[in-house]
Structure formats: structure tokens, C-alpha cells
Amino acid sequence: MEVVVRRLPFGLSRVVAPSLLGFALINGFTFGVDLLLLAFFRGGLGLPVPLAFTIAYVLAFGLSFVLNRALNFRSHAPVGPQAGLYAVAIAVNYLAFILGVGSALTAAGVQYLLSRVVAGACEAAFMYSVMRWVIFRDARG
């Protein structure tokens, strides 16, 4: 990520952290996994929206934690405390953005996948900030 960030145009290399680019790539991938799971649980199995959001969210964010810890932040701190902080962060994120924004938009008539995309945009800024400056603060970033 450091090599890619150094080559960014328009002076972006001075303001974009390598961990931000890594986060965007990893979480873009895991967000796709989240949407696929959501479509399967809601559209395929017919689960209620809040339950489908919850299951897809937990599975995708577990994958995000593992990939970000190992590949992006390369943290060597004990995993237990980090996992605990991560659990708190995803609980706050879940309540505020996934159930709050996602379910509210769906209840207002927005299609459930589109409402999840809007909620995802909100959660990205929150989760990157928490991961960089709280959960994986031991890593250079």
C-alpha cells in the first residue's frame, strides 16, 4: 500500500495513509461479502430484514477484523484485547448505522440492498477511525 500511496496524483500521497487504502480495499471486499450474504439471507431464505442484516454483518465484520489485523495494520498486539475493542466498535456501529440507518431507510421504502449501501458509507468512516486510532493503535499506519 505504501508504494501505491506514494504514486497517487495531485499531492494525495501527503494526505492518504497506506492503512486507509488497505482498509478501503479490504473493507470493499468484505462489504461485497456482506451484500452477498444479505441477499442470500433476505432474498434466498426470506429472513426478516433486521435478522438478515445482523447475520451478514457479523460474518463480514469477523472477516474484516482478521484481514485488517494481519494484512493492513499488521498488528502484533495481543488479539484478545483487540477483539474486545472491536466487538464494542461493531456493536456501536451496528446499532447506529446498520440497524439505525439501514432499517430506517428500509422502513421508509428504500430497497434493502440500497439502504445497506447507504449505511455502509456511514460506517466506513467510523470503523476506519476506530480501527486505526483505537483497536490497532500499536501498528504504524
Question: What's the average pLDDT block by block, 10 residues per block, for the chain (141 residues)?
Answer: 76 81 94 93 93 90 95 92 94 86 92 87 89 84 47
Cα–Cα distance list, 129 to 18, 19, 33, 62, 141 (Å):
14, 11, 21, 17, 11
State residue 141's pLDDT score. 47
CA distance 2 to 109: 42
Greatest C-alpha distance within the chain: 48
Prediction pTM value: 0.78
SS3 at position 9: coil
State residue 98's pLDDT score. 75
State residue 54's pLDDT score. 87
Hey, what's the cell of 135?
A: 483497536
